[in-house]
Every structure is written in structure tokens, then in C-alpha cells.
Amino acid sequence: MSRYIKITLVNRGVSCLARLLDEEAPRTSEAVWAALPQEGQVYHGKYARNEIYNLVPAFAETEPGAENTTITPIPGDLCYFSFTSTELGAPGYGYRSGEGGDTSETIVDLAVFYGRNNLLINGDRGWIPGNVFGAIEEGLEEFAAACQDLWMNGAAGETLRYERA
């Protein structure tokens, strides 16, 4: 039986429903499922293009490792990335104090891709493959419009929540 998660831009009051890809990414799907709910400041991707994400402390007992990876996510893909604080610490990333780059812990990036033509490359690190662990099945169009609003009007004060559906 499929497992689903609800993803919400809290202040905008917009949600979508995604199916976990248990067969394609079993370790990542299980790690995310076991750690729900997750919520934090939302960011819009700078490099990837049509991406929103939040940064949370590492939550997996054992890091899932690479599985079902991509560098070209499609609309509706949910991706998991794991970074060290030094990988996110460059001032050009724009995180404020306490938001990613200035901790000594591993940081997990939970991302939602809402549009086409994404490419996971970073000027400092090169290719950044992500584990595709979920696929949005309901509400993508409305959610994408809210993501575009976030891009045009700002992410300040907005949070992104992942929870079991």
C-alpha cells in the first residue's frame, strides 16, 4: 500500500499530496517517513531553478546514501540532499545566522521541484545529485503557483511543512 505525505506552504495555505517512492528509494523514503513531521523556513532555489526547500537537522539513524538519484528533477519530484555545514557555509548562499551554513552538524535539504528545466549544479561544488523519494500526485498546479509567488514576492516568514497524510 502506498504511503503519502502532505506538503504545505503554511502562510500561503497551499498544500499538495505526494506518494513516497518506496520501491525506487526505500532507504530515503523510510528515513523521511520516520522523521515526519518536518517544518522550517522555506527557501527558493538559486541554482536549480524551479525548486523550493527547507533545511533541517539530519534525522536518519543511518544516512540513506545515494539511491534513485537525479540531476534533472521534473515537476512534482521530491528530493533529499545531505550537506555538511561547510558545504553550505559560503556567504553567497545567503543564509542568515542559524540557517544552514554556520552549524557543525549535517544538514538535510528537503526539496520540492515545481516546474521544468531544473539542473542540479552548483558553482562551488559542481553536480549535486538528489535522491528522488516522492512524487506529487495531487495539487501540483496550485502549489506551483504558490511557489512562483514565493519566488516573485519573497520567502521571508514562510515555512514549508512535510507531514504524513
Mean pLDDT, each 10-residue run in order, the chain (165 residues): 97 98 98 97 90 93 96 98 74 53 74 96 87 98 97 94 98
What does the alpha-carbon distance between residue 112 and residue 53 come to, in Å, rounded to a whole number?
A: 6
Q: CB under 8 Å, gap of 24 or more: what pairs does 149-158 form? A: 149/12, 150/9, 150/12, 150/42, 150/44, 150/52, 151/44, 155/41, 155/42, 155/43, 155/44, 155/52, 157/11, 158/9, 158/10, 158/11, 158/12, 158/41, 158/42
**This prediction's pTM:** 0.91
The whole-number pLDDT of residue 103 equals 54
Q: Which helix (H) or strand (E) holds 150?
A: helix 140-153
Contact 82, 91 (CB under 8 A): no
The whole-number pLDDT of residue 68 equals 98
The whole-number pLDDT of residue 114 equals 98
4-81+109-164 belongs to CATH 2.40.100.20:
yes
Domain residue extents for the chain: 4-81+109-164
